Amino acid sequence: MPIAVAIVEDDAVLSERYHELIACAGDMRLEWTASGVAAALQRLGTAVPDVLLVDLGLPDGSGLEVIRAAKARRPECEVMVVSVFGDEEHVVAAIGAGASGYLLKDALADSFLGTIRELRAGGSPISPSIARIILNLARPPGGSPQGAEPSECDLAEREQEILSLVAKGFNFQEIGRLLGISNNTVKTHIYRIYRKLSVHSRGEAVFEATRLGLLDL
């Protein structure tokens, strides 16, 4: 089945460009587009896509509201932020809302379709400058993890192994091949990790696990 993609972007020229690229991809279809929060929430009420591309700075509010609504209606919806905002506050808020990818607009042009496929396959496309912010946040001064003790999260050995591979950038299919397990089994472990860490996305899981000392990146 084609990857169903939805776009929330108030720049009409950019939105149309996204539309044209998706139309040329044989493995994708455009579910819908919206130029603001209200329109996006209305669309989500009838159709939640496989992949949602969201700008954060919208005319009638924040794209964070759209991300939360999409994840609440369909947790398996993959969300990628495409924004001009690359500061710590926006990055942390987007990951917390459920985004699995975060790309700056000026870095997207040459890899638009590839990043959608990567996200759908279980990857987490992140611009290098955004990745640095996440790593810096996950490594507090002094190198000692903050928050709860790792034992409180009680991750099984296999779950820690999978989470480590996710943190290194492997997608679900690659993890399955490396560990000799099915893609569905990988997803089952991932969802258990989400529940134990009280998170909603791969990016947030890696951030939280690193903060708790469960990962050594």
Q: What is the pLDDT of residues 6-32, one digit of tens each?
A: 999 999 998 998 999 999 898 999 999
What is the model's pLDDT at position 146? 46
What is the model's pLDDT at position 164? 84
Do 176 and 101 share a structural domain?
Answer: no
Q: For residue 138, name the pLDDT band (cuts at 50, 70, 90).
A: low
Query: What is the rounded distance in angstroms from the CA atom of residue 76 to the CA atom of residue 45?
Result: 16
Query: What is the rounded distance in angstroms from the CA atom of residue 60 to the CA atom of residue 71?
Result: 20
pTM: 0.68
Tell me the CA end-to-end span of the chain in Å, nearest whole number: 35
Do 21 and 128 share a structural domain?
Answer: yes
How many domains are contained in the chain? 2
CATH number of the domain that residue 185 is part of: 1.10.10.10
Q: Which of 13-17, 105-109, 171-175 has the highest mean pLDDT?
A: 13-17
Q: For residue 151, name the pLDDT band (cuts at 50, 70, 90).
A: very low
What is the model's pLDDT at position 34? 97
CATH number of the domain that residue 110 is part of: 3.40.50.2300
Residue-wise burial string across 42-68, b where 16 or more C-beta atoms lie within 10 A, e elsewhere: ebbeeebbbbbbbbbebeeebbbbbbb
Do 112 and 29 share a structural domain?
Answer: yes
Q: For residue 153, name the pLDDT band (cuts at 50, 70, 90).
A: low
Do 193 and 99 share a structural domain?
Answer: no
What is the model's pLDDT at position 104? 85
pLDDT of 147 > 70? The answer is no
Domain limits for position 111? 3-136
Q: Which of 21, 130, 42 is nearest to 80 (CA)?
A: 130
Percent of the chain with pLDDT over 90: 32
What φ, ψ does residue 177 adopt, rounded to 5°? -65, -40
User: Residues 28-82: pLDDT tens digits?
Assistant: 999 999 999 999 999 999 999 999 999 999 999 999 999 999 999 998 999 999 9
